Amino acid sequence: AQKITQTQPGMFVQEKEAVTLDCTYDTSDQSYGLFWYKQPSSGEMIFLIYQGSYDEQNATEGRYSLNFQKARKSANLVISASQLGDSAMYFCAMREGWGDYKLSFGAGTTVTVRA
Amino acid sequence: DTGVSQDPRHKITKRGQNVTFRCDPISEHNRLYWYRQTLGQGPEFLTYFQNEAQLEKSRLLSDRFSAERPKGSFSTLEIQRTEQGDSAMYLCASSSAPGTASSYEQYFGPGTRLTVT
């Protein structure tokens, strides 16, 4: 079964608007972590934000925030005030268990920011 | 701190040839991971090391694949008898030891893009 599901293959957003990228996950572990990475056309994976399963508050990093809904097993990324440089592929990923940090990735969502 | 580096960045090879990729992690990181990413997909885990010990291998890692990290620093990934299905981006990542601050965060290298003709 897919551990990470990203249902939006591509999205367009107007510059300065906010965009929400969906991510649902599947795990039976109590301890897990959720990540979002950005991959521009140049190919490097850039870490954006992390949410641990025991964190009570939603994670925020600058213009990025993670909307963590544990009961629904969702971890959506919100990018506020979109910029042209935000155009990229975005991946949701998960680590499971204690001490095991290998990541399972979703298929990604392509975001295109329009001027 | 120069980040994670990978060499080469691009490799074109003919089917049946052997190829070897190198990854240099961030110097103080003791965990090193290899992932494979095919076009339009997310990365898939291949294997990881803690220091020089290879702790886990994915079922994706067939017998033609072997990875080493002989001194707990750089790592190599070798593919023998390459097939066209091996064409992909091979990504390396590193992280600090579990229990240390931000140990969950993996820093990725730029990747090696392999094309098998």
Interface contact flag, B42 A43, Cβ < 8 Å:
no
When scoring B26, B37, B46, B103 by the number of chain A Cβ atoms within 10 A, the one with the most, hence best to mutate, is: B37
Interface contact flag, B104 A43, Cβ < 8 Å:
no
Interface contact flag, B105 A104, Cβ < 8 Å:
no
Average pLDDT value for chain A: 94
Of B35, B40, B111, the CB nearest to A43: B111
Q: CA-nearest residue of chain B to A10?
A: B40
pLDDT digits (tens, 9 = 90+) for A47-80: 999 999 999 899 999 999 999 999 999 999 999 9
Count of A–B CB contacts within 8 Å?
60
Residues of A with CB under 8 A from a CB of B: 4, 33, 35, 37, 42-47, 50, 52, 91, 93, 95, 98-108
Looking at residue A87, the DSSP 8-state letter turns out to be -
pLDDT digits (tens, 9 = 90+) for B44-86: 999 999 999 999 999 888 899 999 999 889 999 999 999 999 9
SS (H, E, C) chain B: CCCCEEECCEEEECCCCCEEEEEECCCCCCEEEEEEECCCCCCEEEEEEECCEEEEECCCCCCCEEEECCCCCCEEEEECCCCHHHCEEEEEEEECCCCCCCCCCCEECCCEEEEEC
pLDDT reported for residue B71: 86
pLDDT reported for residue A84: 97
- Residues from chain A contacting residue B33 (CB–CB below 8 Å): 101-103
pLDDT reported for residue B72: 85
Q: CA-nearest residue of chain B to A100?
A: B98
Of A44, A52, A91, the CB nearest to B42: A91
pLDDT reported for residue B81: 97
pLDDT digits (tens, 9 = 90+) for B12-40: 999 999 999 999 999 989 899 999 999 98
